[in-house]
């Protein structure tokens, strides 16, 4: 991890389905958690291990916002917000989107990832981006090519924004789990539930930019 400069981690909340009213979520949230270097990322990784131990969870426990009790969500977010990172998020209102491409979940997901990475492009310099998921090797290649093509727009003598992309299983990566917790907090903000604003308020000191897309006319 320390061999890299900027490190960024992507995870989502909700789903890319468009069957609203039939089980699909009304919003699709993708979050990008950015660390300036491997040292900051390593410290956050260690803090998450400590949080897991402090909560009495086993070492293999995976932090996932939607499966945690409210008090554990708050404890996690309060503790991790003291670490040095920033996050960006895109909140896609699926009620307002049109176009054939959105009917295909993989295309929809790639598009959402490109939006959030472009919003963070001034913070990405020779970055390694780690994305939650498994998928086929073909999809992994497509995602890598797509993001690099969409985000690596720079002067010929300028730095690459994205140096490399890795797709990893969140169960073995604390910092993808952090991105899940951020995505969950942002998604809950738009849920209309009684605790809608609580979690985002806790993590807001680390917030760089959250875009609601598309803008309603």
The answer to whether 117 and 148 have CB atoms below 8 angstroms apart is no
- 144 — pLDDT class (breaks 50, 70, 90): confident
- Name the token pair of 72: 């554990």
The reply to whether omega before 214 is within 30° of 0 (cis) is: yes
DSSP 103: G
Cα separation values, 3 from 7, 41, 60, 128, 213, Å: 10, 12, 26, 10, 35
Q: How far apart are CA 44 and CA 96, in angstroms?
A: 36
DSSP 52: H
User: Is 156 a residue whose pLDDT tops 60?
Assistant: no
- 5 — pLDDT class (breaks 50, 70, 90): confident
**How many beta carbons lie within 10 A of that of residue 54, not counting itself?**
12
157-195 confidence digits (pLDDT tens): 667 899 888 889 999 999 999 999 999 999 999 999 999
User: Is 25 a residue whose pLDDT tops 80?
Assistant: yes
> What is the reported pLDDT for 134?
65
Q: How far apart are CA 25 and CA 17, in angstroms?
A: 7
The arithmetic mean of pLDDT across residues 63-80, rounded, is: 98
> What is the reported pLDDT for 43?
97
Dihedral of the CA atoms 55, 6, 13, 117 (nearest 10)? 170
pTM equals 0.92
Return the CATH superfamily for domain 7-213: Ribonuclease H-like superfamily/Ribonuclease H (3.30.420.10)
3-class SS of residue 7: strand
The arithmetic mean of pLDDT across residues 30-56, rounded, is: 97
Query: Could you give the residue ranges of the DSSP H alpha helices within the chain?
Result: 38-54, 70-80, 105-119, 137-151, 174-189, 198-203
> What is the reported pLDDT for 103?
85
- 1 — pLDDT class (breaks 50, 70, 90): very low
* Cβ-based neighbours of 205, under 8 Å, separated by 6 or more: 81
Query: Which residues make beta-bridge pairs with 130?
Result: 9, 166
- 2 — pLDDT class (breaks 50, 70, 90): very low
Q: How far apart are CA 60 and CA 73, in angstroms?
A: 17
């Amino acid at each position: 991890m320390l061999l890299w400069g900027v490190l960024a981690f992507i995870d989502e909340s909700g789903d890319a389905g468009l069957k609203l009213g039939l089980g699909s979520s009304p919003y699709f949230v993708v979050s990008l958690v950015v660390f300036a270097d491997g040292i900051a990322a390593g410290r956050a990784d260690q803090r998450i291990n400590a949080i897991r131990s402090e909560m009495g969870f086993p070492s293999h426990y995976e932090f996932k916002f939607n499966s945690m009790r409210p008090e554990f969500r708050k404890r996690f977010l309060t503790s991790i917000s003291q670490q040095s990172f920033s996050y960006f998020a895109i909140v896609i209102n699926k009620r307002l989107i049109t176009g054939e491409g959105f009917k295909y979940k993989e295309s929809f997901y790639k598009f959402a990832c490109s939006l959030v990475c472009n919003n963070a492009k001034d913070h990405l310099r020779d970055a390694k981006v780690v994305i939650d998921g498994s998928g086929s090797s073909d999809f992994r290649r497509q995602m890598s090519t797509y993001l690099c093509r969409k985000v690596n727009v720079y002067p010929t003598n300028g730095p690459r924004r994205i140096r490399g992309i890795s797709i990893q299983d969140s169960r073995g990566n604390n910092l993808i789990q952090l991105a899940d917790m951020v995505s969950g907090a942002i998604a809950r903000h738009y849920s209309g539930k009684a605790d809608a604003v609580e979690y985002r308020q806790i993590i807001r000191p680390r917030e760089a930019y959250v875009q609601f897309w598309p803008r309603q006319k």
